[in-house]
């Protein structure tokens, strides 16, 4: 088992734009800035959230959308290439008005109310996603 | 959309002091060490926890305090300047004796039983918090 | 209060091997690569998960094992030395098919279905774990 290594190039910390989708915001930013690989972490709040669960037997995602105020307790993920474009893979955890938490795989239709992101651009042997027959997922090849 | 970039200066890993409040410990450490911006991640356990939920319509926090043993599944946050002083913004997730999780915005009166923190001091164009009329929160200006 | 500082040496991003235990995979990797200290973050899915809760009064862990598909919403931890060998301390949060989350201290018998890890090797004054009488835990000495 060998794991590829990377160097941090640019290290961003920024306020996320309000009422925008998390995945789209990050993918557009990476496309504009020519970032091919990154990791990020985000806290804040959303006014709408969509997360999913991967059924390992049926090899398909089920997703849930909830509208309303939720804290983003944590949203962590990475950026790598899928079909030559920056693609975000992230998981999100949200808390409701009683502190109860739910979460899973982050999907679009997750709208920022307020958010602070730390994103580290990585350079090196860029990870690419390819269809993995065994799991049915688009996985890194290394 | 342009996001400011930072360089890591000092990268700390340390044991958190027992029975001390998480927010106070980090803010005092940053004040003493003259740290104006940072990100951190923390795991461990608490003997008391206080977390909150921001009501986006009423523009106010509701908070909950629980005493007892809880695992800190994750506590992530950042340090930036509010009125010229280091200010911590963090979210926390705790688990109880059955593994059930709750969490939200971290408040004081959260006492460490045991904890390990990774804190990265950042230098660059320091983020400052200012009152944001639209959300009612103290947000970064960039 | 002084906290020790570290430098990042190698910064790995990799696909986790399927059907392997998370703790064993990381500890074996660190042993092979001669890594004595690190921090890491991991998202993905598991086919089996074991997490625990530390009873602060009885000074012992209770653990739970669940079989089935779960998303790893977040798994964060560190590597340091225990009795001269790389030892992983991590916490995990998983979500079920309805997005409901549970978690705690990560134990073995947690099998990866798919996973992406970011692991930063750290060099400096390596943290060592020693038995702490007050908490009953193996804690860092600094």
Looking at the DSSP assignment, which residues form a beta bridge with residue C64?
Answer: C51
- Does position C1 have pLDDT exceeding 90, yes or no? no
pTM above 0.90, yes or no: yes
Query: Are B73 and C91 spatial neighbours (Cβ–Cβ below 8 Å)?
Result: yes
User: pLDDT digits over A74-109, tens only?
Assistant: 999 999 999 999 999 999 999 999 999 999 999 999
Q: Mutate which of C3, C36, C55, C63 to disrupt the B interface (most B C-beta within 10 Å)?
A: C3
C2, C5, C9, C141: best to mutate for the B interface, most B CBs within 10 A = C5
Count CB-CB contacts under 10 A for residue A29: 23
Cα–Cα distance, A86 to A43 (Å, whole number): 22
Share of chain C above pLDDT 90, in %: 99
Query: What is the C-alpha separation between A69 and A90, in angstroms, rounded?
Result: 20
Looking at beta carbons, which residues of chain A come within 8 Å of B142? Answer: 14-15
Proportion of chain A above pLDDT 70, given as a percent: 100
Q: Which residues of B touch A120 (CB under 8 A)?
A: none
Pinpoint the alpha helices (H) of C17-136.
Answer: 22-32
The whole-number average pLDDT for the span B101-118 is 98
Going by pLDDT thresholds of 50, 70 and 90, the confidence category of residue C17 is very high
ipTM: 0.96
Helix, strand, coil shares of chain C, percent, nearest 5, are 10, 65, 25
Q: Per the structure block, which two tokens stand in for C142?
A: 């600094």
Q: Determine the average pLDDT of the residues in C50-62.
A: 97
Reported in sequence order, the residue ranges of B96-142 that DSSP labels E, i.e. its strands, are 101-106, 111-124, 129-131, 138-140
pLDDT at position B73, please? 98
- Judged against a pLDDT cut of 90, whether residue A1 lies above it is answered with no
Domains belonging to chain B, first-starting first, are 8-124 (3.30.1330.80)
Average pLDDT, chain A: 97
CA count, 13 A, side-chain hemisphere, A83: 2
**pLDDT at residue number B1:** 78
């Amino acid at each position: 088992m060998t794991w590829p290594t990377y160097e941090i190039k640019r290290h961003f910390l920024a306020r996320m734009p309000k009422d925008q989708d998390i995945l789209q915001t990050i993918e557009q930013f990476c496309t504009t800035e020519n970032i091919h690989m990154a990791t990020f972490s985000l806290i804040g709040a959303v006014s709408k959230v969509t997360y999913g669960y991967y059924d390992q037997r049926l090899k398909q995602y089920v997703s849930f959308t909830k509208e309303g105020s939720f804290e983003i307790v944590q949203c962590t993920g990475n950026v790598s290439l899928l079909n030559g474009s920056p693609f975000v893979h992230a998981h999100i955890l949200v808390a409701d008005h009683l502190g109860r938490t739910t979460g899973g795989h982050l999907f679009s239709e997750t709208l920022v109310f307020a958010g602070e992101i730390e994103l580290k651009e990585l350079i090196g042997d860029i990870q690419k996603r390819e269809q993995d027959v065994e799991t049915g997922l688009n996985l890194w090849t290394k």
